[in-house]
Amino acid sequence: MSNFSFIPEGHKMPSSKGRYTKVKEGETLKLRVLSLQIVDGFVRWSNDNKPIRWRNGEDEPAGFDFREGDKAKYFWALVVWNYETEQSEVWEITQKSILDSLRNYATDEDWGHPNTYDLKISRTGAGLETSYALTALPHKAMTKKVEEAMNTNFPDVHALFTGDDPFQAAK
């Protein structure tokens, strides 16, 4: 029998490499905001399970078969670096607790723009008992890898409003 292991030393299972930031129950993610400015709007789901989005200040689009009882949700869309997946992702935030926390950090003169510090976002509970916590980490410069992500193939979050793929429309 040989001395090599069936699973090589240091082997890691690949994590889900979806390009949209999702915080799972019991999970904490470390992120860095890459967007210079938020893009905001509303999202409502159709009966065929597709998100229909429109910009803040515009009227809800007509002609869609929306889910009965489903109301439009306000959101911010921004590009972030996810340290776990090591990639830039689109983060669509609809949770008021996250929006309020991020706004408080971004408008506080001691914290400022969230691309100057990392964020930890955690989720506990499920369903109606779900809660989120957002914590800013001490200011520090972006790593070279994060800086490169900010300057190459930057997703276009405006594509969300046309139903296009923000990564195909990358700038």
Extents of the domains making up the chain: 28-162
pLDDT given at position 13: 47
Residue with tokens 């997946």: 85
Q: What is the pLDDT of residue 153?
A: 76
pTM confidence score: 0.85
Question: Model confidence over 38-96: pLDDT tens digits?
Answer: 999 999 999 999 999 999 999 999 999 999 998 999 999 999 999 999 999 999 999 99
What is the per-residue pLDDT for 170? Answer: 66
Please report the pLDDT score of residue 7 as a whole number.
61
Task: Compute the average pLDDT of residues 109-114.
Answer: 96
- Work out the pLDDT band at 107, boundaries 50, 70, 90: very high
pLDDT of 12 higher than 70: no
Average of pLDDT values for 90-112? 96
CATH class belonging to 28-162: mainly beta
Amino acid letter, residue 19 = R
Q: Which of 15-29, 39-53, 54-68, 110-124 has the lowest mean pLDDT?
A: 15-29
Cα-Cα-Cα-Cα dihedral sign, residues 31, 39, 74, 70: negative
**Predicted confidence (pLDDT) at residue 128 exceeds the cutoff of 90:** no
Q: Give the chain's radius of gyration (CA, Å).
A: 18
Centre a 10 Å sphere on the Cβ of residue 54 and count the other Cβ atoms it contains. Answer: 16
Yes or no: say if 32 and 148 are a contact pair by the CB < 8 Å rule: no
At residue 8, the pLDDT reads: 63
The region of weakest confidence among 7-11, 84-88, 165-169 is 7-11
User: What is the percent of the chain with per-residue pLDDT over 90, rounded to a whole number?
Assistant: 78
Report helix, strand or coil for 152.
coil
Neighbours of 162 (CB within 10 A): 10
